[in-house]
Amino acid sequence: MSNRLTIKDIARLSGVGKSTVSRVLNNEGHVSDNTRERVLEVINQHSFSPSKSARAMRGQSDKVVAIIISRLDSPSENQALRAMLPLFYEQGYDPIVMESQFSSQRVGEHLKVLHQRSVDGIVLFGFTELDVEQLMPWQDKMVVMAREYPGLSSVCYDDAGAVSLLLNKLYEKGQRHISYVGVDAKDATTGKLRSQSYLDFCQQHNLTPAIALGELSYHSGFRLASQVLSPQTDAIVCASDTIALGVTKYLQEQQASNVRVVGIGNNPLLKFLFPKSFSIDLGYEQAGNAAARLLLEQVLRSAAPQQIIIPSKLAD
């Protein structure tokens, strides 16, 4: 079982010293092509690979990063996560994935474990109840997604911009009675930012707002739709595509087929089921990409913390 060869074995088998093998492994110069070849031969023959733990202990990094996601089954976070993985692989970093399930305490537990493993960096998906204090020790090796905290790197979405993009589009099309179904303001981004943007727009354009706030689920959308639907309503903006699905179902039952529903998230299912709807791409993929890049910059080149905002755009 534990018959893993060591650098010493390779040295013996190829008739050189350990250090020469080490040099070959790390592609250092100062080793004759002759011996280099011989050593590589033996290495490949036994498919030897140096122990990461030993390397890590010798002062090098372990080449491990962690990604603390809120919920793996959230389509938005999922997309962002999928986008960062390849970048980490590419740089030889192995990603440990952990779920916080929106529990600040669980984040704390995870951080403790990760400290013990001395991971090189962390991408953390932020959420409302998150206690920022416990993040400070990681300051220079952490990137936070979807929330902005002073002193910490972050990659955020343009929540306000997304909503105004939707509203402008509807306004262009001549809609003047636009309602909004969103998320409670205790959620800072999906909740407060987006609904505030709606209210601002209404004020600017002299529209009468009709707003209802609840949870981030289609059930909530379905339930709240009735509250914002009046005979004149010609469009409903939803804080997310999930909510939009619920709203659309309600409209369908009410035979209100002339109301246009739009959402945020670019969920292809919404477009498929209800072709008249449209949606905003918040840039999850781009965000994942940016986060990975940012973290690697910080870890590899000890770059300074940076805050990035991903621009929203109308989905095709």
Partner DNA sequence: TTGTACGCGTTATCAC
Partner DNA sequence: GTGATAACGCGTACAA
Point out which residues bind a copy of itself (CB under 8 A). Answer: 4, 49-54, 56-57, 62, 64, 72-73, 75, 78-79, 81-82, 85, 89, 94-99, 112-113, 115-118, 218-219, 222, 245-246, 249, 269, 272-273
- Rounded least distance, CB 13 to DNA, Å: 12
- Rounded least distance, CB 121 to DNA, Å: 20
CA nearest to 238, candidates 156, 158, 166: 166
Kind and range of the H or E run holding 309: strand 307-310
Give the whole-angstrom CA distance, residue 285 versus residue 277.
22
User: In the complex, which residues of this chain contact DNA (CB under 7 A)?
Assistant: 4, 6-8, 11, 15-20, 22-23, 25-26, 29-32, 34-36, 50-51, 54-55, 57-60
| N-to-C CA span, the chain | 55
- Rounded least distance, CB 54 to DNA, Å: 3
Per-residue DSSP letter, 139: G
Give the pair of three-digit tokens for residue 304: 């300074």
- Which of a copy of itself, DNA, none lies near 44, with the C-beta cut-off 5 to 8 A by kind? none
- Which of a copy of itself, DNA, none lies near 103, with the C-beta cut-off 5 to 8 A by kind? none
Strand partners, 65: 95, 121
- Rounded least distance, CB 196 to a copy of itself, Å: 29
- Which of a copy of itself, DNA, none lies near 7, with the C-beta cut-off 5 to 8 A by kind? DNA
Between 11 and 225, CB nearer to DNA: 11
- Rounded least distance, CB 161 to a copy of itself, Å: 25
CA nearest to 134, candidates 152, 157, 116: 152
Name the maximum alpha-carbon separation found in the chain. 88
Sign of CA dihedral 41, 46, 47, 50: negative
- Which of DNA, a copy of itself, none lies near 34, with the C-beta cut-off 5 to 8 A by kind? DNA
Question: Which phi and psi (to 5°) does residue 314 adopt?
Answer: -65, 135
- Rounded least distance, CB 12 to DNA, Å: 10
Kind and range of the H or E run holding 142: strand 142-145
- Which of a copy of itself, DNA, none lies near 245, with the C-beta cut-off 5 to 8 A by kind? a copy of itself
Give the whole-angstrom CA distance, residue 108 versus residue 185.
25
Give the whole-angstrom CA distance, residue 7 versus residue 187.
54
Contact 221, 181 (CB under 8 A): yes
Q: Where are the alpha helices (DSSP H) in 239-314?
A: 241-253, 268-273, 284-301
Between 81 and 193, CB nearer to a copy of itself: 81
- Which of a copy of itself, DNA, none lies near 201, with the C-beta cut-off 5 to 8 A by kind? none
Burial class (CB in 10 A: 0-12, 13-18, 19+), 316: exposed
- Rounded least distance, CB 58 to DNA, Å: 4
Give the whole-angstrom CA distance, residue 303 versus residue 121.
13
- Rounded least distance, CB 208 to a copy of itself, Å: 31
- Which of a copy of itself, DNA, none lies near 30, with the C-beta cut-off 5 to 8 A by kind? DNA
- Which of DNA, a copy of itself, none lies near 93, with the C-beta cut-off 5 to 8 A by kind? none
Between 163 and 239, CB nearer to a copy of itself: 239
Between 7 and 193, CB nearer to DNA: 7
